[in-house]
Structure 1
Amino acid sequence: MTRRGSPARGLGGRIWEGLRPLDPLRSVKAALGALVIVSVIITTFLVFVAIHSATELRVVTIFSIIASLLVTQFVAQGLTAPLDEMTDVTRAMAGGDYTRRVRAKRRDEFGELADAFNTMAADLEAVDTHRKELVANVSHELRTPIAALRAVLENVVDGVCEPDPETMRTALRQTERLGRLVEHLLDLSRLDNGVVPLHARRFEVWPYLSGVLKEAAMSRGAATLAGSGTHTRTDVHLHLDVAPPELTAYADAERLHQVVANLIDNAIKHSPRHGRVTVRARRGAAPESLELEVADEGPGIPAAERRRVFERFDRGGPGTSGPGGDGGTGLGLAIARWAVDLHGGRIGVAESAHGCRIRVTLPGLGQTRN
Structure 2
Amino acid sequence: MYVSVRHGLSLVMGWAVLVAVLLGSAGSARAAVAGAAAADVPAGVTAGVAVFDRQTGTFTEQLHPDMRFRSASVVKLLIALDHLWDRSPGGLPADDRTRLDSMLRSSDDDAASFYWSQNGGSALVDRMVSRLGLADTAGPPAGYPGYWGYTALSAADTVRIYRYLLDSAPAAVRDLVMGDLRASTRCGKDGFDQRFGIPATFQRPWAVKQGWSGFGSSGDCTNTTTAPAQHASPTGVDLAQKALHTTGTVGAGDRAIVAVFTLQSQSTTFGAAYTNLGRLVRSLNVPGATRPPGAWFSTWGSGVHVRADTTTHSAALTALPAGVEVQVSCQKQGETVTDGPYTNDWWAYLPLYGGYVTNIYMKSPDNKLPGVPTC
Please indicate the TM-score interval, normalised by the length of the shorter structure. Answer: under 0.3
Q: Which has more helix, going by share of residues?
A: 1
TM-score where L is the length of structure 1? 0.25
Q: Which structure exhibits the higher relative contact order, with contacts defined as CA atoms closer than 8 Å and separated by 6 or more residues?
A: 2
Q: Which has more strand, going by share of residues?
A: 2
Q: Highest Rg: 1 or 2?
A: 1
